[in-house]
Structure 1
Amino acid sequence: MTDDIERLIGAAAPGDAARLAGVEDAVWSRIGERRDRARMGQVRIAAVAIALVVGGANGGLMLMTPRPEPSELRIFTVSAGLSPMASLDVWG
């Protein structure tokens, strides 16, 4: 865009301000767009950081909770090893 501005300024006659009328507005609008994009980038980084902190805290709290005692009904679970195929050492 720098080359475009220099070309427009160089091509304009001293009294010909009509050709350069929209240049300043275009420059300020592009500056505003870049600021908005930078702000959104910061918001995204903050959201990811908060998610990591919340996830880490949640995982830390889950590690501190006591483990439940094994249930008496564990013989009905899939991992009980009571399958007829368990004695044949066949794993699916």
Structure 2
Amino acid sequence: MLDDIDRLIGGGRHDGEAQLADLEDKVWASIGERHDRTRMGQVRVAAVALALVVGVTNGGFMLLSPRPEPSEMRVFTVSAGLSPLSGLDVRG
């Protein structure tokens, strides 16, 4: 096991500065990507919360609104069962 570690450490470039040249940029890029993902997650949560609030508010207003009086024209609705075709089980 130690031979593998010694080989990995000793292999490749011997210039430590050349190996670490892009490391800081890669770390900062990784941090930036993580911040962007976190920000997008927060935006998604905010959008879902806003949609939920709008839906609940709209539903609450619909419950509070006065119901319309039954119309005299309801005789002509399909659910009235007064269609001449209702006895024939014909659906339109």
One fold, TM greater than 0.5? Answer: yes
CA–CA separation in structure 1 for the residues paired with 2:90 and 2:53: 40
Aligned ranges for residues 1-92 of structure 1 at < 5 Å?
13=14, 16-84=16-84, 86-87=86-87, 90=89
- Separation of aligned partners in 2, 1:36 and 1:11: 34
Q: Deviations over 1:5-56 (max 9, x none)?
A: xx78x9664x531221011101110111011101100110011011101110
Rounded Cα–Cα distance in structure 2 between residues aligned with 1:91 and 1:41? 52
**Looking at both structures, which has the greater relative contact order when contacts are Cα pairs under 8 Å and sequence separation is at least 6?**
1
TM-score, structure 1 as length reference: 0.74
Q: How many residues align?
A: 83
TM-score, normalization: structure 2?
Answer: 0.74
* Alignment RMSD (CA, Å): 2.3
Letter in 2 for 1:42: Q
Map Cα deviations across residues 51-85 of structure 1 (whole Å, 9 max, x no partner): 10111011001100111011111111111111345
Between the aligned partners of 1:56 and 1:72, the Cα distance in structure 2 is: 32
Q: Report the secondary structure of 2:19's partner residue.
A: coil
- Structure 2 distance, partners of 1:81, 1:66, is 27
CA distance in 1, matches of 2:65, 2:16: 77
Name stretches of at least 5 consecutive residues in structure 2 with no aligned partner: 1-7
